[in-house]
């Protein structure tokens, strides 16, 4: 009869250890997620060869000519969300601050019929994000000013950047909301949004200092 309490105590202890181990793992994952950072760049389609460069957009690698500098980046973001659609797909919604909203309105007003091409970087924490290659005087490569978007040669290694969408400008966007369907995996979408949220939170914290 005395063995019952001991068995119960041992069983209870094992359960507590298992739960503690699970909590520790979850905490470690959360800590790793907080280190993640993402960037996002909105480029305007530009059909003038002298001022544009060619990028390969989506997993279909559709060539598009875009301006060499983005007109909006994560620095103008105030919120980002991953939105589940009724058809089972998902989209990413960007909400820009006052400055970003003004720029978005100006560009969508002046450039109806063109595309906004979206690029994102989402490297593993602790690795440097790819930077645009500087164009040399004797470099005739149209892509020389753009960050690397080619998937890694190792198929087992996840990619860390993507030209993931081209959105046709149909109407003026005056509310600072830009929503698009990215041609990337859902896991990549979650990773990008999580990293952008960390960037926004860090910027908000610095602004309060």
**Digit-coded pLDDT (tens) for 164-186:** 999 999 999 999 999 999 999 99
Average pLDDT score over the chain:
81
Residue 18: which pLDDT band, with cuts at 50, 70 and 90?
low
Q: Are 163 and 118 in contact (CB under 8 A)?
A: yes
Q: Is residue 42 domain-shared with residue 30, that is, in the same domain?
A: no
Q: Evaluate if residue 20 carries a pLDDT over 80.
A: no
Q: Evaluate if residue 143 carries a pLDDT over 60.
A: no
Q: Is residue 28 domain-shared with residue 87, that is, in the same domain?
A: no
Q: Are 180 and 115 in contact (CB under 8 A)?
A: no
Helices (H), 36-66: none
Average pLDDT score over residue span 50-71: 91
Q: Is residue 165 domain-shared with residue 75, that is, in the same domain?
A: yes
Q: Are 122 and 160 in contact (CB under 8 A)?
A: yes
The tokens describing 21, both together, are: 């181990």
Q: Which residue has tokens 């993402």? A: 38
Residue 36: which pLDDT band, with cuts at 50, 70 and 90?
confident
Q: For residue 12, what is the enclosing H or E element?
A: helix 3-35
Q: Between residues 126 and 31, which one has the greater pLDDT?
A: 31
Q: Evaluate if residue 15 carries a pLDDT over 90.
A: no
The pTM (predicted TM-score) of the whole model is 0.76
Q: Is residue 43 domain-shared with residue 26, that is, in the same domain?
A: no
- Rg of the Cα trace of the chain? 22
Q: What is the pLDDT of residue 88?
A: 84
What does residue 121 show for φ and ψ, rounded to 5 degrees? Answer: -120, 140
Q: Is residue 120 domain-shared with residue 144, that is, in the same domain?
A: yes
Q: Is residue 26 domain-shared with residue 106, that is, in the same domain?
A: no
Distance (Å) of CA 117 to CA 80, 154, 166? 17, 26, 4
Percent of the chain with pLDDT over 70: 70
Q: Is residue 22 domain-shared with residue 124, that is, in the same domain?
A: no
- Rounded Cα distance between 10 and 23, Å, is 20
How many separate domains does the chain show? 2
Domain of 172? 37-208
Q: Is residue 55 domain-shared with residue 149, that is, in the same domain?
A: yes
In the three-class reduction of DSSP (H, G, I as helix; E, B as strand; rest coil), residue 178 is classed as: strand
Q: For residue 42, what is the enclosing H or E element?
A: strand 39-44
User: Using one digit for the tens of pLDDT, what is the confidence trace for 73-129?
Assistant: 999 999 999 999 888 889 999 999 999 999 999 999 999 999 999 999 998 876 655
Q: Is residue 50 domain-shared with residue 77, that is, in the same domain?
A: yes
Q: What is the pLDDT of residue 75?
A: 95
Residue 109's DSSP bridge partners are: none
């Amino acid at each position: 009869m005395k063995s019952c309490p001991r068995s119960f105590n041992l069983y209870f202890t094992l359960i507590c250890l298992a739960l503690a181990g699970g909590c520790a793992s979850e905490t470690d994952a959360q800590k790793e997620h907080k280190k993640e950072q993402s960037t996002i760049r909105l480029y305007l389609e530009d059909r003038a060869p002298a001022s544009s460069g060619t990028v390969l957009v989506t997993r279909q690698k559709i060539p598009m000519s875009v301006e060499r500098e983005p007109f909006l980046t994560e620095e103008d973001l105030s919120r980002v969300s991953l939105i589940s659609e009724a058809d089972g797909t998902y989209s990413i919604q960007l909400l820009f601050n006052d400055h970003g909203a003004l720029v978005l309105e100006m560009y969508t007003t002046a450039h109806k019929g063109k595309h906004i091409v979206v690029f994102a970087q989402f490297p593993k924490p602790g690795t440097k994000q790819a930077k645009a290659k500087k164009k040399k005087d004797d470099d005739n490569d149209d892509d020389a000013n753009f960050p690397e978007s080619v998937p890694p040669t190792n198929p087992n290694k996840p990619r860390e950047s993507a030209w993931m969408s081209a959105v046709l400008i149909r109407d003026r966007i005056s509310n600072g909301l830009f929503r698009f369907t990215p041609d990337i995996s859902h896991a990549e979408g979650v990773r990008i949004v999580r990293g952008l949220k960390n960037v926004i939170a860090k910027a908000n914290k610095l602004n309060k200092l």
